[in-house]
Amino acid sequence: MGAGLDTTSASLAWMLWCTVLAGPDLWMRLRAEADDVLSGEGPFDETHLARLDLADRTMRETTRLHPAGSFSPRMAHVDVTIGGHRIPRGTLVMWSAHLAGRDPDAWPDPTSFDPDRFVDMAPERKALADIAWVPFGRGVRNCVGFALAQMELTLIIARLSQRLDIEATTPTKPLAVGMVVNRPDGGVPMRVNQRLHRPDVRR
């Protein structure tokens, strides 16, 4: 329940908050993309998912800034030196996806929410970003649900933008709380209406 549900629902809440607060332009661009890719009768498959580029970047930007797991432990199995720090075998090391996602060496203007930052990255910037984007961990003990979670978040934001008009009821960003899963305190209060003018899209 904790690994599979709380993480994804907390990320979805953060994604809605960030996307809606980014202003109507992003919502309309997501909607245009979803109308283009997810129109008609389907069935839809991974080729459609691959074309939800902006929705994918919105998911990546949200999980960069608000990784559901803020930090995670590792135990050093051998003596190792990282960044000039000697770490003896047996040491408990805490690494943080939250800090890596906000590292100014990897991310220009790190605290701003900008799904377009992933577009046309210079190779050296992309190499750093690939290392510093670790909301699902890395290595042999990374998240087993990472593909499912990314697919869910990408599809859900695309579908919500297609079906709903959403506005935040307060501009105050919720506090991040939670010992294990980083979630917005009190949820993300929104006013939700059905989309007024819909093209002929599949529900």
CB of 104 to ligand HEM, least distance (A): 22
Q: How far is the CB of 9 from ligand HEM (least distance, A)?
A: 9
- Least separation in angstroms between residue 117's CB and ligand HEM is 19
Least distance CB 44 / ligand HEM (angstroms): 20
Query: Which residue lies nearer to ligand HEM by CB, 32 or 144?
Result: 144
Q: What is the largest CA-CA distance in the chain?
A: 62
Q: How far is the CB of 191 from ligand HEM (least distance, A)?
A: 25
Minimum CB distance to ligand HEM smaller for 32 or for 131:
131
Nearest to ligand HEM of 117, 183 (CB atom): 183
Indicate the residue among 112 and 142 with the shorter CB distance to ligand HEM: 142
> Which of residues 42 and 73 has its CB atom nearest to ligand HEM in the complex?
73
| Closest approach of ligand HEM to the CB of residue 79, in Å | 21
Residues that bind ligand HEM (CB under 6 A): 3-4, 7-8, 11, 63, 67-69, 72, 97, 135-139, 141-145, 148-149
3-state secondary structure of 27: helix
AA identity, residue 70 = S
CA-CA distances (angstroms) from residue 34 to 68, 144, 149? 25, 27, 19
User: Which residue's CB is nearer to ligand HEM, number 3 or number 168?
Assistant: 3
